[in-house]
Structure 1
Amino acid sequence: MTDAPSTTTGAPATEMLIQRLRWPLIAVSVTILIALSRLIINPRFYFTDDTERGSFGQWYALGEHLSQGRLPILNPSAWQGGNYFAEGQWGILSPVTWLIGLTAYISPDAALHVTVWKIAFLALFSAGMFLLARDMGASRPWAALAGVLAPAAGFTVYIDAASWSTGLFDACLFPLLWWALRRTVEHGKSPVPYVILSFTLVTIGYVFGVMVLVIILVESLVRHIVHRDGTRIIRTLLASAWGAAWTIVIYLPAIATAPVTERSSDPFANEHFLNADITDLLSAGSPLTTATIKSFWGDTTQGPLVYIAWLLPLIPLFLPIARDAVIRLLPVWIFGAVMLAFILAPSEMGALRWPLRMMPYVAIAVIIVLVVAATRAYPYRVTRARAWAAVAVIAATTYIGWVEEMWSWKSILVTFIAQLVLVAIFYLHATRARTRQVTVAVLLSIAITVGVAGAQMLQFRESPMPTVNAPTSTDELRSVLDEPRGDAIVVGNYYTGQNTPASWDERLMGNLWYLSETPVASVYTVLPFESFADDLCSDLRGLTCEDALDTLWSIDPDTGERVSDLMSISTIIAAKATYPDQPVVPDGWHVADDLDWNWYLQRDEELPSAGGVTWTGEGTAVTVTAQSDTSVTFSVDAVGSDPRVVLSRLPFPGYEVSAGSFADPVRDYLLTVDVTAAAGEEVTVRFLPPPFPVLAGSFVLAWLVLAGWLIVWRRDARRAR
């Protein structure tokens, strides 16, 4: 008898839970299905370009450090790529990135590892879009469609998911973060979800994600100031203070480091590179066309980078949007307008380049407006006049798309016919179906989205971003230079031969060098150290010009030592594409291997890894007593006529010296200490991310803000009860 009540009350509760979860589960499941289907055509789809040469290698290195119980801050052997705090996207303080790194370190296959993580984030994107669309006024079915459409938008799929990992992670987190912000500011719920999500987004280290967070915080603050809503103003200020404190911790080191890097001279200009114009945006509803986006491959990029959703040209069916919905969508209108202005902005705005990377956020705003409009209009407000309006929009955008890219006329024609058919289907269904109109319409839309994704993959089988066809087996990657002979550097165009599997037995590329047992200087960086890059004519990928080998073997006029010795380089890998004839090696070096793609040149006597003392001035003598990646301690035994001590380190901002002073860097990029005032003393040269006192203060402030916020929230919650 006592069991009966729980049975009767349990069944409705279970049914309610199923009803609440049904649509978001459909959205997430379909998103995963679409993401997995891309692997059928291209198993390496998510292992391209910056993921292949950049992200995986740095995740692997981070995981290796974490497995040994330490956080990497500085790596002198990586030279211009070794300032990890300034690099930002290493995610040094991000627990999510730590987990990605630890799994990368133990993963047997690099492509499998990145694919699993990227699809997981796309699933999170879907769930976040569902919650955000619901909060903005969409019904469950239409919110589920938003959760399917947003992760399938063109830039997200073909650039972020395929290559720019941190861009993907931030875009995928953003809808959930925005929902969490509204949950705590607008509805007075616990700030904990927002705190966790905003911390995660900021610490991932992708500055554009922080920019969109700032936009929604400013919008929230201004809106509540206008409404004179004191409680929500305080909540927004607390949310902003938390995010601002962590932004200082994560991004200030890069700003402080920028003056010595090539970022200091980034121009303000419009080269029409990875930005859009108005006519490009008229292709946002066409999944099979490319628009005219200029990028690395010329005036047109072979990918649907401005595509948002196939349903977009059908929006006249759902217009006009009710006034109360327009008001409720005010944050979305403002956010979308700012994002639209950004992608139309100049291609280079100092350190901020390539504004088209904001396209996923434009898609988020547009899709939310679309599903809220559909919620309020479908099926009851769909009329013949609105159907003809949709036909007119489709015709206009098709014509402009054809003018922009006449060579794609077949794809444009197919899209035009398909959208006309869909207008007819939606109109007939809305006006003639008697029951379950919304469910059927949304399920049909989801099915069409799956079909569109399949058609896209048949036409655009891979990202327009380049692949170097690196091996995906981590064992194979680790086998390159697995018997280290001191620090190494690569010179010349060592990317030649990337499509020949055997060439990977001889060299790696970019951050994949982190998988080698040999410390290699030629890693990827977003902050090339200007004087170092100029001297070795190297780029951010580690490629150098032909003169780099001569520079390494040249005698520095200031010290009388070889540049390679001042850098503590013991192995040079010279690409045969640049050096077809065997290089003439200087005394103390020999040709260790003559391989198919590279010359292996080694010093007869191996030098210690970079970071230590490599030269002292005439009459000056020091003894190194301790050395780590971030510090060197030496005793000054004698001070001669030249009191300088040169270390094989780049003089990044953040170095301090306990005695003596810093002198002008030798060759403008070798850290140099003047020990004139340190005779007989012990000198410690130590690096901390700059400006460290400010970073430490911001770190403490963040936790104080959180403590205060939780106290305020609990007080308000008690009052509400």
Structure 2
Amino acid sequence: MLSTPARARPGRLRGVLPPLIACALVAALAQLPLLRNPWIYFYDDAAIQILPVWHRLGELVLAGRWPPLLDVDGWMGGNFAVESLHGVWNPVYPLVWIGTALAPDLAVAGALVRTLGMVAFALGVHLLCAEYGARRSVAAATAVAVPLAGSLYFLDTVLWPAALLACAWVPYVWWAARRMAHGRSSALWAFLLGGLGVAAGNPYGMLAISLVLVALVVESAVRARWRAVRDLVLLGAAVAAVVPLVYLPLLLSSSVTWRAADGSAIGDSGVMAPAPLDLLGSGLPHHVPDITGLGGAALAVPAVYTCWFAVPLLPWLDWGVLRRRWRELSGCAVVAAGFLALAIGPSELWMFRWPLRVLHYGFLALAVVLAVLLSGGLRTGRAPVRAVASVVLLLAACGATGALEPARLPRGAIAVLLVAGLTALALLAFRLRGTRWLAAALQLGTAVVFAAQVTWFVGPPGTTTAHLPSSVAELRERFEDRYRGTTFQIAVPHWRPGDEPGAGVWRDLLPGSMYPVAGVRSINSYTGIGFQRFSDTFCFSYDGGACPDAYAALWREPAGTGTPLADLLRLDTVVVQRELVPEPDVPAGWSASERSDEVTVLHRDFRTRWPRGTLTHVDGARIRSAVAEGTSEVVEFAREGRGPARLLFARLAWPGYRATTADGVELPVSAGPAGLLRVDLPPGQAAGEVRLTWAPPGSAFGAASAALGCALALGLAWAQRRRRRSPRPREHDATPVPVS
């Protein structure tokens, strides 16, 4: 009786071992770049926006605010519902935020999140390849290679980890939806994964999920599986119903943001856009395409790289597999063709910019096809002819991409010899021990090639955010007591060559959204959406930098207020970079508490009124109390005279604010000076209470739409379950699923 489990255990272990090895190898390879550059996961946008915002979101969740849709103290960068990229509607993401908030060092948190994201993506790739019939060992080899594709690793993983997390949902959605279509899984799982993928808030991930579902419809139609087509269409409708909840606030708020001007633009600036010729070098680990990056500089990384073994093994594959299974793989062809077309299409297409960021979704589909072909085994007959063909393909790719030019020749020669040697090793492994050893050789080759890429393309930190302090304790020790209260920074902070960690500009200034990590309530923040009137007033840039004219703007008195903007913003501290304003005039009521070679620091000499709220200015009324809690605020007033009366708040007038009296009468809400929120008091009312609340615009419709999608998925799952219990004949999936 005890022998049956003992015999079954090795089989289960053989099934689990390949993905475990793949995930462990990916986790280990993710640490390799840290040996060359400890700041590889903590610079650029990741350092000054994504990780600090995750830290702040974690603090808000730990304080009991979920979902954290609006942080009033975050100003332009605090409207998380509109920004969407942080996935505030995804219930899994608070784990990432809380982990980041509890981590003592943001760089460590960044490395951990990248590692977990790459591992999660690798496991999804393995499941997807196995679902299409690839052998588990080959699926594991593919799962190691795909997360290290150039556009995914060197761009999304390193620079934009939020995009990596969004990408990680795609293979799971594809896997679950295909299993649902074939009757092997419930529609609820497919809807749950699809909804979570949409809720990740990344438009590229949403686009990928949409195209995957369309591709599965095509795949089922080609195979004349009409019931599956119907189920997939219903599943697509259910997942699409989640979209308004995530993206409707952005569309309804675009009139006040930077996105209003270019939200519907179609253009071709050439930024982050590969040409068809660039893609010919996708199998070369050393190939740096001639592509314009952000800021106008040329990219210096292998941004179109896929995997090292795709090109040299083409002559050795059994192409008859495609002839026999083209219907099953037609969905992969749709996804690959769709994303490759988008990659070489216009640079700007509505909210989608920088076509390189969709390239790896096309590579994912091609990787599935490659895994299926490799699972069919290699063809070793006429080996000399095939070997010559492999070499010719490598050299042709080098020549077509300019890799044989004199300046690139040394590295090109090393890369070709490396790939050729690894290809020979893979062929030998297959010849001696079959597909499992071939898969092991492919994994070894991926590790060796990635090590070479790290040596070539991951150097010492040299960006404007190099050596930015990442220790939370160090940041708070340096800034928390110096910059007290609400702080406004007029600076364009950037690392200068020669500055060491803990020295130079980072002693006095922080970029982007870093100040909340240091315990400072700062108006400056990194944002991709902005607030047009506010940014125009102080010439804010997307990374929180302000121009010299912002200092003069602080002390102007908007018409009808008689109060400087610095007071209307309820500022307590103003930090001025002396490189921008060498000797700032100190206004009355303020003192220069610090002057150094880098900054002048001003502090307010008196306390602001109504310290428990954000109310900042009143016309025609006397305030008894103003108390804010989260995004809401309650103001008690007594009118003075019979003229109009208004309240002005030190918060931005985002769409979605609603002001009412105690008995529910709606009050006019508008944007005042610099875009600050203004509320008109009710005429004729001598005293009363104003209740200010906020909800993302369109949130009621979005919630109803998401609920409708959930109901549709439940109905589809119930119908599937009833169908499985029915004695009527069902469509069966004939896809072979090798297990070795």
- What's 2:283 paired with? 285
- What's 1:150 paired with? 146
- What's 2:737 paired with? none
- What's 1:124 paired with? 120
Q: Distance in 2 between matches of 1:449 and 1:160?
A: 19
- What's 2:341 paired with? 341
Q: Distance in 2 between matches of 1:568 and 1:405?
A: 60
* One-letter amino acid matched to 1:231: R
Q: Deviations over 1:228-284 (max 9, x none)?
A: 644323432342233223222111111211121111112422111011101111121
Aligned partner of residue 528 in structure 1, secondary structure: coil
The reply on whether 1:220 has 2:219 as its aligned counterpart is no
The reply on whether 1:392 has 2:387 as its aligned counterpart is no
- What's 1:114 paired with? 110
- What's 1:549 paired with? 551
Change (3 A) 1:464 1:206: farther
Q: Distance in 1 between matches of 2:320 and 2:596?
A: 68
Change (3 A) 1:507 1:6: same
Answer yes or no: is the 8 Å Cα contact 1:291–1:404 preserved in 2.
no
**549-558 or 483-492, larger mean C-alpha shift:** 483-492
Change (3 A) 1:664 1:325: same
The reply on whether 1:461 has 2:465 as its aligned counterpart is no
- What's 1:255 paired with? 251
What does residue range 604-643 of structure 1 map to in structure 2 within 5 Å? 604-607=605-608, 612-617=614-619, 619-638=620-639, 640-643=642-645
5+ residue gaps, structure 2, are: 729-740
Q: Determine which of 677, 684, 695 is the counterpart of 1:688.
A: 695
- What's 2:374 paired with? 374
Answer yes or no: is the 8 Å Cα contact 1:636–1:679 preserved in 2.
no
Q: Tell me the C-alpha RMSD between the 2 structures.
A: 2.6
Answer yes or no: is the 8 Å Cα contact 2:656–2:696 preserved in 1.
yes
* One-letter amino acid matched to 2:634: T
* One-letter amino acid matched to 1:450: A
Q: Distance in 2 between matches of 1:95 and 1:382?
A: 55
Answer yes or no: is the 8 Å Cα contact 1:616–1:646 preserved in 2.
yes
Q: Distance in 2 between matches of 1:148 and 1:101?
A: 26
Q: Determine which of 150, 156, 160 is the counterpart of 1:160.
A: 156
Answer yes or no: is the 8 Å Cα contact 1:283–1:397 preserved in 2.
yes
- What's 2:485 paired with? 486
**283-292 or 403-412, larger mean C-alpha shift:** 403-412
Q: Deviations over 1:176-230 (max 9, x none)?
A: 2211211122233133443443233222221211110011112223444566644
* One-letter amino acid matched to 2:235: A
Answer yes or no: is the 8 Å Cα contact 1:663–1:672 preserved in 2.
yes
* One-letter amino acid matched to 1:471: P
- What's 1:717 paired with? 724
* One-letter amino acid matched to 1:103: G
Answer yes or no: is the 8 Å Cα contact 2:256–2:654 preserved in 1.
yes
* One-letter amino acid matched to 1:305: A
- What's 2:167 paired with? 171
Q: Distance in 1 between matches of 2:273 and 2:56?
A: 33
**514-523 or 662-671, larger mean C-alpha shift:** 662-671
Answer yes or no: is the 8 Å Cα contact 1:660–1:674 preserved in 2.
no
**28-37 or 671-680, larger mean C-alpha shift:** 671-680
* One-letter amino acid matched to 1:585: V
Answer yes or no: is the 8 Å Cα contact 2:317–2:374 preserved in 1.
yes
Aligned partner of residue 600 in structure 1, secondary structure: strand
Give 1:437 shift.
2.6
* One-letter amino acid matched to 2:492: N
Give 1:405 shift.
6.6
Answer yes or no: is the 8 Å Cα contact 1:620–1:641 preserved in 2.
no
Change (3 A) 1:404 1:712: farther
- What's 1:514 paired with? 516
Q: Distance in 2 between matches of 1:406 and 1:716?
A: 66
Give 1:421 shift.
4.2
**473-482 or 338-347, larger mean C-alpha shift:** 473-482
Change (3 A) 1:426 1:19: closer
Identical amino acids, percent of aligned pairs = 26
- What's 1:665 paired with? 671
Give 1:668 shift.
5.3
Give 1:486 shift.
2.5
Q: Distance in 2 between matches of 1:551 and 1:263?
A: 24
Answer yes or no: is the 8 Å Cα contact 1:489–1:569 preserved in 2.
yes
Q: Deviations over 1:447-501 (max 9, x none)?
A: 1111101111111125997643222211112234323632111112133559442
Q: Determine which of 548, 562, 567 is the counterpart of 1:560.
A: 562
* One-letter amino acid matched to 1:287: P
- What's 2:409 paired with? 409
**464-473 or 268-277, larger mean C-alpha shift:** 464-473
Change (3 A) 1:703 1:440: closer
Answer yes or no: is the 8 Å Cα contact 2:124–2:172 preserved in 1.
yes
The reply on whether 1:55 has 2:50 as its aligned counterpart is yes
The reply on whether 1:595 has 2:630 as its aligned counterpart is no
Change (3 A) 1:405 1:466: farther
Change (3 A) 1:610 1:350: farther
Give 1:710 shift.
3.5
**217-226 or 326-335, larger mean C-alpha shift:** 217-226
Change (3 A) 1:103 1:424: closer
Q: Distance in 2 between matches of 1:450 and 1:361?
A: 22
Aligned partner of residue 255 in structure 1, secondary structure: helix
Answer yes or no: is the 8 Å Cα contact 1:574–1:598 preserved in 2.
yes
Q: Distance in 2 between matches of 1:604 and 1:668?
A: 24
Give 1:295 shift.
0.6
What does residue range 236-251 of structure 1 map to in structure 2 within 5 Å? 236-251=232-247
Q: Distance in 2 between matches of 1:485 and 1:425?
A: 62
Q: Distance in 1 between matches of 2:546 and 2:333?
A: 47
Answer yes or no: is the 8 Å Cα contact 1:488–1:518 preserved in 2.
yes
Q: Deviations over 1:77-132 (max 9, x none)?
A: 22111112112123223232201111122211211122122212211222211111
Aligned partner of residue 313 in structure 1, secondary structure: coil
Q: Distance in 1 between matches of 2:185 and 2:211?
A: 21
Answer yes or no: is the 8 Å Cα contact 1:624–1:632 preserved in 2.
no
- What's 1:471 paired with? 469
Give 1:146 shift.
0.5
**408-417 or 94-103, larger mean C-alpha shift:** 408-417
Aligned partner of residue 196 in structure 2, secondary structure: helix
* One-letter amino acid matched to 2:62: S
Answer yes or no: is the 8 Å Cα contact 2:537–2:674 preserved in 1.
no
Q: Distance in 2 between matches of 1:264 and 1:464?
A: 34
Give 1:406 shift.
5.5
Q: Deviations over 1:526-583 (max 9, x none)?
A: 21111111111001111011000110111213322101111212211111221233x1
Change (3 A) 1:669 1:439: same
Q: Distance in 1 between matches of 2:451 and 2:699?
A: 50
Q: Determine which of 86, 97, 108 is the counterpart of 1:90.
A: 86
The size of the alignment, in residue pairs, is 711
Answer yes or no: is the 8 Å Cα contact 1:485–1:606 preserved in 2.
no
Q: Distance in 1 between matches of 2:727 and 2:550?
A: 69
Q: Distance in 1 between matches of 2:381 and 2:195?
A: 43
Change (3 A) 1:334 1:321: farther
Answer yes or no: is the 8 Å Cα contact 2:465–2:495 preserved in 1.
no
Answer yes or no: is the 8 Å Cα contact 2:612–2:626 preserved in 1.
no
Answer yes or no: is the 8 Å Cα contact 1:274–1:293 preserved in 2.
yes
Change (3 A) 1:297 1:381: farther
Change (3 A) 1:222 1:679: farther
Give 1:623 shift.
4.0
Q: Distance in 2 between matches of 1:609 and 1:42?
A: 45
* One-letter amino acid matched to 1:599: T
Answer yes or no: is the 8 Å Cα contact 1:126–1:151 preserved in 2.
yes
Answer yes or no: is the 8 Å Cα contact 1:171–1:360 preserved in 2.
no
Q: Distance in 1 between matches of 2:245 and 2:237?
A: 12
Answer yes or no: is the 8 Å Cα contact 1:383–1:427 preserved in 2.
no
Aligned partner of residue 162 in structure 1, secondary structure: helix
Q: Determine which of 298, 301, 319 is the counterpart of 1:300.
A: 298
